[in-house]
Amino acid sequence: MKKFLDFITDEMKQAFAAGGYDESYAKVTLSNRPDLCEYQCNGAMAAAKVYKKKPIDIANSVVEKLQDSRCFEEVNAVMPGFINLKISKDFLAEYMNGMKNSEKLGMETVSDPKTVIVDYGGANVAKPLHVGHLRAAVIGEAIKRMGRFMGHHVIGDVHLGDWGLQMGLIIEELKDRKPELPYFDESFSGEYPKEAPFTISELEEIYPAASSKSKVDEAFRERAQEATFKLQSGYAPYRAIWQHIMNVSLKDLKKNYSNLNVEFDLWKGESDAQPYIPGMIQNLIDQGLAYESQGALVVDIAEETDTKELPPCIVRKSDGAALYATSDLATIVEREQDFKPDHYIYVVDKRQELHFTQVFRVAKKAGIVAPDRRMDFVGFGTMNGKDGKPFKTREGGVMRLEHLIADISDAAFRRIMENRTIEEEEAKETAKIVGLAALKYGDLSNQATKDYVFDIDRFTSFEGNTGPYILYTIARINSILKKFEQTCEAANETSILPPATEPEKTLTLALSRFSEVMETSYEELAPHKICAYIYELSNALNHFYHETKIIAEEDRKKQAGYIELVTLTRSVLLTCIDLLGFEAPERM
Ligand code: ARG
């Protein structure tokens, strides 16, 4: 189905052309004076300069050509040359019925689906998931789902930090605690145990203990570095411990992500990129791109058009060790080999922007990816506490994600119980769904790059621009439909009728923008635009509900039209929240 905006833009193009003006002036936008009109076109102003005419004369002649248009109910030229548009009610109804009968609510699947890699999550193995990882997971998951809805082939990769110093720290701490383990016996030649020498709760305690120790104990830190190096060079006993750490942690990580409704197609990590490093480095050297600087191997990335000076990308340290950039470049080599992606999207803390600029430029300079390949860095800001500083626990420590989720579910539970429309048992289950929605919507409704304040009271409120408000609107529709089923007679003919009142028209106008909003949000990788849209749509639905007798309506045909309209609204809302990565309870 054609996008709503395309329908009206095409009408406008024809009118400009018929008046003897270039079609390119026929750009139509949402009105910024909703009191006067619904859409507007300002093209006459730009055309005036080229055609050396008064803007109002051009506007008038275009308006004349639009008199019989089936899209508009009113078209006006106003000084100095604006064209104000009001949409025809019949046309809106036709479009609504098209949406309701189409497979994807009127959305066209893209004609040239792309292979897209979304690199998000980025958890570090053996370290607990904390709120810093929340945004990566939440935003990345939404972008992945949005891309799929457009029809692209989108692959989500968690890209674990599984190759760093934390591994050496755990190995050395384990050695101190259990020196008798075979991994630490150099003469051991048997097979290593299948069972891990620690449980997840032990592991969760080992890492922070080792990490604090390394901050005060210089010798311990050096040993950990040594162990990390040995692991990275393939020392079998340490590889065996590493495998245990991976097995135990991954199980836990998967559970945590799944509680967030976040699913990855690939559970790859930095370790998977290691085999690609030597070839990648050699390639950089052979092409004359990498050169030695103070013992390290670097690649220049500065470009003439840069507004600030960008340092070269270090691809190998002077001691021969690989760095973060090395591993990301090697990962691109691997991804090219496995998937040949058309588009790369990285959802990572915005403080890593320079790193990704360097990596993208080296990848393109070296021909690892084609120069015109789309590579996007979606950098996100920090989640702050009410004091404006990065969010902490009440004790000032790093908040674990599972505790955060528990807190917000509790808050949602209290809100639901205030309303007392459901039993406590059901309220508990519902609170989990509502809490997650509150958390995710609270995050996603902000532009990703911005910092935001985690405000549990505001996020869980049933009023205002919040997740629970959207869910509340869906629950309201559910209850209307249920009442209708129980008390009313179904009509034979069920189609959406031309809107007869202002609130009804506002609702249909909002619904008609669905495809457009989906497309723009994905194009700009901006889930917050979907949030803004469903907030507006929910407001429109609630206003319509307050102004319209649905269940008491006696005209069956009219009533059936209302029922179809709210059902369509529910489908749009449910589709959108699914793209944002949360669900709605039946009632709340
Ligand atoms: N593990 C990293 C961190 O915690 C994030 C990884 C992001 N992805 C990437 N390809 N570098 O900072």
**Closest protein CA for atom 3 of ligand 1:** 122
For ligand 1, the distance from its centroid to the CA atom of residue 270, given in whole angstroms, is 9
Exposed e or buried b for every residue in 434-463, given b needs 16+ CB within 10 A?
bbbbbbbbbbbbbebeeebebebeebbbbe
For ligand 1, the distance from its centroid to the CA atom of residue 160, given in whole angstroms, is 7
Helices (H), 190-296: 200-216, 218-232, 236-259, 270-273, 277-286
pLDDT attached to residue 419: 79
**Closest protein CA for atom 2 of ligand 1:** 122
In ligand 1, the atom with minimum distance to the C-alpha of 352 is 12
| Nearest residue to 120 (alpha-carbon basis) of 161, 149, 152 | 161
Q: What is the CA radius of gyration of the chain?
A: 29
In ligand 1, the atom with minimum distance to the C-alpha of 324 is 11
For ligand 1, the distance from its centroid to the CA atom of residue 387, given in whole angstroms, is 27
- 122 within ligand 1 shell (Cβ under 6 A): yes
Cβ 475 vs Cβ 588: under 8 Å: yes
Q: Rounded to an integer, what distance in angstroms lies between the CA atom of residue 387 and that of residue 389?
A: 6
For ligand 1, the distance from its centroid to the CA atom of residue 241, given in whole angstroms, is 23
For ligand 1, the distance from its centroid to the CA atom of residue 159, given in whole angstroms, is 7
Say which DSSP state 188 is in.
-
Question: Sheet containing 296-299: which strands, arranged edge to edge?
Answer: 290-293, 296-299, 313-316
- 156 within ligand 1 shell (Cβ under 6 A): no
- 328 within ligand 1 shell (Cβ under 6 A): yes
In ligand 1, the atom with minimum distance to the C-alpha of 161 is 1
What is the residue-level pLDDT of the chain in tens, covering all 588 positions? Answer: 999 999 999 999 999 999 999 999 999 999 999 999 999 999 999 999 999 999 999 999 999 999 999 999 999 999 999 999 999 999 999 999 999 999 999 999 999 999 999 999 999 998 878 887 899 999 999 999 999 999 999 999 999 999 989 999 999 999 999 999 999 999 999 999 999 999 999 998 999 999 999 999 999 999 999 999 999 999 999 999 999 999 999 999 999 999 999 999 999 999 999 999 999 999 999 999 999 999 999 999 999 999 999 999 999 999 888 899 999 999 999 999 999 999 999 999 999 999 999 999 999 999 999 999 999 999 999 999 988 888 887 777 778 888 999 999 999 999 999 877 789 999 999 999 999 999 999 999 999 999 999 999 999 999 999 999 999 999 999 999 999 999 988 888 889 999 999 999 999 999 999 999 999 999 999 999 999 999 999 999 999 999 999 999 999 999 999 999 999 999 999 999 999 999 999 998
- 269 within ligand 1 shell (Cβ under 6 A): no
For ligand 1, the distance from its centroid to the CA atom of residue 136, given in whole angstroms, is 9
For ligand 1, the distance from its centroid to the CA atom of residue 401, given in whole angstroms, is 17
- 124 within ligand 1 shell (Cβ under 6 A): yes
Tokens standing for 507? 């609702």
Say which DSSP state 75 is in.
E
**For a substitution probing ligand 1, which of 120, 135, 159 has the most ligand atoms within 8 Å of its CB?**
159
For ligand 1, the distance from its centroid to the CA atom of residue 406, given in whole angstroms, is 25
For ligand 1, the distance from its centroid to the CA atom of residue 350, given in whole angstroms, is 11
- 161 within ligand 1 shell (Cβ under 6 A): yes
β-pairing verdict for 153-157 and 296-299: unpaired
- 477 within ligand 1 shell (Cβ under 6 A): no
- 119 within ligand 1 shell (Cβ under 6 A): yes
**Closest protein CA for atom 8 of ligand 1:** 122
Q: What is the pTM of this model?
A: 0.95
In ligand 1, the atom with minimum distance to the C-alpha of 349 is 12
For ligand 1, the distance from its centroid to the CA atom of residue 338, given in whole angstroms, is 20
For ligand 1, the distance from its centroid to the CA atom of residue 134, given in whole angstroms, is 13
- 172 within ligand 1 shell (Cβ under 6 A): no
In ligand 1, the atom with minimum distance to the C-alpha of 133 is 4
For ligand 1, the distance from its centroid to the CA atom of residue 161, given in whole angstroms, is 6
Bridge partners of residue 160, in order along the sequence: 269
In ligand 1, the atom with minimum distance to the C-alpha of 160 is 1
Q: Rounded to an integer, what distance in angstroms lies between the CA atom of residue 564 and that of residue 492?
A: 13
- 132 within ligand 1 shell (Cβ under 6 A): no
Q: Rounded to an integer, what distance in angstroms lies between the CA atom of residue 275 and that of residue 396?
A: 41
- 159 within ligand 1 shell (Cβ under 6 A): yes
**For a substitution probing ligand 1, which of 162, 253, 352 has the most ligand atoms within 8 Å of its CB?**
352
For ligand 1, the distance from its centroid to the CA atom of residue 349, given in whole angstroms, is 8
Residue 586: CB partners within 8 Å, gap ≥ 6?
Answer: 475, 478
**Closest protein CA for atom 12 of ligand 1:** 122
- 348 within ligand 1 shell (Cβ under 6 A): yes
